[in-house]
A and B are shown apart, each in its own frame.
Chain A
Amino acid sequence: MHKYLLVGTSGLTQAEGVHLAYLVASVLFILGLKQLSSPKGARKGNITAAVGMVIALGTGLVGLHPSSTKIILIVAGVAFGLVVGTVSARKVKMTAMPQMVAAFNGVGGGAAALVSVEEYARLIAHSSQAVVFVLTVVFSVVIGCVSFAGSVLAFLKLQELMTGRPVTYPGQQVVNALIVVAILAIAVFLIGFGTSVALVVVLLALALVLGVAFVLPIGGADMPVVISMLNAFTGLAVAATGFVLGNTVLIVGGTLVGASGTLLTKMMGDSMGRSLGNVLFAAVGKVTSSTGASTGEGETRSVRTGTADDIGVMLAYSHKVIIVPGYGLAVAQAQHAARELASALEKRGVEVSYAIHPVAGRMPGHMNVLLAEADVPYEQLKEMDEINDQFKLADAVLVVGANDVVNPSARNSPSSPIYGMPILNADQAKNIVFMKRSMRPGFAGVDNDLMFDPKTIMLFGDAKDSLNKLVAAVKAA
């Protein structure tokens, strides 16, 4: 016997209707993610996904017949969550966004774990369940709890409620390994041998400990990568809960986030010049191998590289961009390309100026001539003294073929050959794009600390070529 959802139509059953509505929601999630990955459609994408969510939630109510007490509880719970979620999301400062995302992610993981525990407790009371059921319960409880506890810790670190530095202690790896072994042992028992709600609760507690232990040794600077990974974890936990409940929209939504989140985590690590393994286990390793040099940083320094497309988008959405031209720009005959880039940016409302160091080019004033030749408006050319306190207001600095004139060691390091030379304060900008022909990591020439600054992105290649690519990227953004 079927209940008909749409009376008088060609016989769509209620179950079929639910499936179709879930399909619509799933498609909206996919479209939303697609739009979220391009600057033009990003805000729309968020709304698309939200519409999908509303449809899925409405559909999820079909076929439920809760008592009036439960209805009151559910409405109250949703209302409370709505207020907390909205208020905290609205009140949070833009600088505190990462920890807010961590918090929202953590509660999702916690919810996934709780839902699976509930379903296990409810069904196991009546009859034993299939292996896959128990397996997915165990998976979503463990991963959901790791995500919850890990996110809480990430929040505490980023909010500076605890130290943001890696927390390590002797034997940390052994302790972590023991927790993992205990979790695996309980998981194997539950899947293969027996049913016990109490053991699932123990599993939940151990997974919480694991989540804390896992994030403890990771430093605050790497937290965005960790949050992204925990986000993927929550996605997978939700997908597993979808298997537990036999709910397709949970499987689709969770898996989409799990898969895209995994890729995103890798991309974030790449753009920071860190591998995921490095992020997760570097500090733990440090305790055991204490052979490191006294300088600490020296050996492991890595640079971030970016693509012209990425950087073009970043420039296009900046307010203020400063170009630092150097001799390399003249060599590459790239002054016209630089001018084109500036025009493309100005068309989008970006304020562009050029910072001219006294020794830029081959002789004083050389660079001014070169740029004037390329029709750069005179008022955009700023002398060092005029522009040096503007860098801290700039969203991005584009260093084209210059090097020493932006080298902070001229300011900071008395041992440097160029110590004392007045420099452009490019290091004070929010983002620095360093355009160079090439650089082998660890190159031993005149080391420029600015290249290793976390705010710096390297763009390798011929200056003219790179500038033309940036022009295209800005126009496409």
Chain B
Amino acid sequence: MSNALIEYITIFVLAAFVGIEVISKVPTILHTPLMSGSNAIHGIILVGAIAVEANAHGALQLTLGLIAVVLATINVVGGFVVTDRMLEMFKARRPVEEKQD
């Protein structure tokens, strides 16, 4: 195995543990926003889509690469925007005036 491959596998395994650990305490009401937020993060595929489009040869590869760029952009942008809308409702609600009782 090449050094690069070992490096990638290391990163993969460590990231897997971090991914599990980092969300292990999420309350139920945040399940959907968290799913949506992580959904936006895998839009990182846009980096790959742009790279293959930049290296593409011929009309077919250019077309497929372009489709990939469009799809990945929708994933990133839509993902973050829709998550933000969901989380708007978690804005700190202004507490009512303290009652003296």
Contacts and interface: CB of A to CB of B under 8 A. Distances in A.
A107 B71 contact: yes
A81 B77 contact: yes
A118 B68 contact: yes
Could you say which of B26, B48, B76, B84 has the most chain A C-beta atoms within 10 Å of its C-beta? B48
Interface in B14-58: 15-20, 22-57
Closest CB pairs A-B (n = 4): A81-B73, A259-B19, A85-B77, A85-B78
Given A108-B43, A115-B45, A347 B61 contact: no
Given A114-B65, A253-B41, A313-B27, A107 B48 contact: no
A241 B12 CA distance: 12
A90 B85 CA distance: 8
A49 B40 contact: yes
A112 interface: yes
A33 B41 contact: yes
A349 B42 CA distance: 36
Given A37-B22, A310-B28, A115 B42 contact: no
Could you say which of B5, B19, B33 has the most chain A C-beta atoms within 10 Å of its C-beta? B19
A250 B45 contact: yes
Nearest to A58: B47
B69 A78 contact: yes
A185 interface: no
Given A56-B44, A118-B56, A309-B27, A33 B19 contact: yes
B66 A238 contact: no
Interface of A: 26, 29-30, 32-34, 36-39, 42-43, 45-47, 49-50, 52-53, 56-57, 59-61, 64-66, 70, 73-74, 76-78, 80-82, 84-86, 88-90, 92, 94, 97-98, 100-101, 103-105, 107-108, 110-112, 114-115, 117-119, 121-122, 132, 224, 227-228, 231, 234-235, 238-239, 241-243, 245-264, 267-268, 271, 306, 309-310, 313-314, 317, 346-350, 375, 377, 457
Contact of B54 (A36, A74, A257): A74
B25 A37 contact: yes
Contacts of B46: 57, 60, 78, 111
B96 A346 contact: yes
Nearest to A271: B28
**A contacts with B: majority SS:** helix
Contact of B77 (A49, A86, A242, A317): A86
B63 to A, nearest CB: 9
B36 A108 contact: no
Nearest to A346: B96
A101 B39 contact: yes
Contact of B70 (A77, A246, A260): A77
Contacts of A74: 50, 53-54, 66, 69
Contact of A50 (B65, B80, B82, B101): B80
A313 B29 contact: yes
A42 B24 CA distance: 15
Contacts of B49: 111, 114-115
Contacts of A346: 96, 99
Could you say which of A81, A234, A239, A349 has the most chain B C-beta atoms within 10 Å of its C-beta? A81
Contacts of B61: 118, 121-122
B38 to A, nearest CB: 5
Given A122-B52, A248-B7, 15 more contacts: A45-B37, A57-B76, A59-B47, A70-B53, A101-B32, A108-B42, A111-B45, A115-B68, A132-B1, A224-B31, A231-B35, A248-B8, A255-B19, A257-B39, A260-B23
A46 B83 contact: yes
A101 B17 CA distance: 25
B11 A36 contact: no
A261 B4 CA distance: 27
A417 B45 CA distance: 60
B33 A256 contact: no
Contact of A242 (B8, B23, B86): B8
Given A50-B80, A118-B65, A346-B99, A254 B42 contact: yes
B47 A250 contact: yes
B20 to A, nearest CB: 5
Contact of A46 (B52, B84, B93): B84
Interface string B74-101: 1111111111111111110111101101
A257 B83 CA distance: 15
A263 B79 contact: no
